[in-house]
Amino acid sequence: MEIKQQVLKILEENRGNTINGSKLAEELFVTRSSIWKAVKALQKDGYSIKAVTNKGYCLLANNDIVSSESIIPFLKGEASNFILDVLQTVNSTNTLGKELAAKGAREGTVIIAREQTEGRGRMGRSFYSPNSSGIYFSIILRPKLNLEDSLLITTAAAVAVAQAIETVAGVKASIKWVNDVFVEDRKVCGILTEASLNFENGGLEYAVVGIGINIETKDFPEEIHKTAGSLFSDKPSSSPVTSMLVAEVLNNLANCMNSLTDKQYLEEYRRRSFLIGKDIIVIKGAKTIPAKAIDIDEKARLVVEYEDHTIEALNSGEVSIRPILI
């Protein structure tokens, strides 16, 4: 680990408290001037570090720059095995995640970006990913699943995000099948799972689960400004939340992945799904068909009943859906 990263780790562990420069130097077996250089470099990266003459350095409590060092202290249990890579800007964490997965990156590798220049959503859409007001991350998984079961991964991630939002932001989060997390009537998070097939055994080679959460995002592009929202849209959070939020999603995802085959988490997915019982429009290519959403089945498909009373279980790849607004 670079000296800069080691200094950041110690400052994060002592966030809000002043750490003596000589003590830091002693602990890391380097000179005081190396510590000073590392602090300068961190400040240049935007970290709010106060240097107090004859006292030392203090990472201010309100510093909300995400780093591996700021996330790791919040990881619990199996989630501590995730390998975090935090970047300032990337085209898309999913694109990078797929490249790394194809080269053999370990299960549990997480690519986190503070900004994406080409964030991608489902159905070829883009995902608005401005600098620092949201967080964008992708997790490489290698689950023992068939391709048709990959819907289970997206739904597990949606439950993990909804739980994390409630814990960290203290607001109720619901899910719009299959991959959108809502707070009140605004979409605050989108999830994109991309998988690669192992042709020899028909199972998944890897899956990359991409999650984008709008934390304080404002000024959404015209085409989404009526539907998109953020966790703290009115006033900023009084304390930094981003690192805790990412860690909570990872903690919850590790738990949900354990119940992927016994599907326990699906009960919670159903409870949070606000489409069940609603009149919707199923969009299949050029056709729009009125239907009622009646259930989420054991494969996480949306079960709908059409007006002629026929029933169909929908896979996310096949359709778009829209609740009918009254």
21 binds ligand BTN (CB under 6 A): no
Cα–Cα dist 244/314, whole Å: 35
Site residues for ligand BTN, window 46-75 (CB under 6 A)? none
98 binds ligand BTN (CB under 6 A): no
- Phi first, then psi, for residue 27 (nearest 5°) are -65, -35
39 binds ligand BTN (CB under 6 A): no
Q: Which of 121, 143, 229, 240 binds ligand BTN (CB under 6 A)?
A: 121
Name the strand (E) or helix (H) holding 25: helix 21-27
Cβ at position 76, least distance to ligand BTN in Å:
23
Q: Which of 210, 242, 244, 319 binds ligand BTN (CB under 6 A)?
A: 210
Residue type, position 181, single letter: V
120 binds ligand BTN (CB under 6 A): yes
Q: Which of 21, 56, 108, 119 binds ligand BTN (CB under 6 A)?
A: 119
Cβ at position 100, least distance to ligand BTN in Å:
13
4 binds ligand BTN (CB under 6 A): no
- For 193-222, letters b (16+ CB in 10 Å) and e give bbbeeeeeeeebebbbbbbbbbbbbeebee
Beta-carbon count within 10 A of 35 CB: 27
206 binds ligand BTN (CB under 6 A): no
Report which of 195, 149, 155, 209 is spatially closest to residue 178, judged by C-alpha positions. 155
Q: Which of 65, 192, 231, 275 binds ligand BTN (CB under 6 A)?
A: 192
Contact 128, 279 (CB under 8 A): no
265 binds ligand BTN (CB under 6 A): no
Nearer to ligand BTN, 154 or 163 (CB): 154
- Phi first, then psi, for residue 294 (nearest 5°) are -115, -20
The binding site for ligand BTN (CB under 6 A) comprises 92-94, 116, 119-122, 125, 127, 136-138, 179, 190-192, 210-212
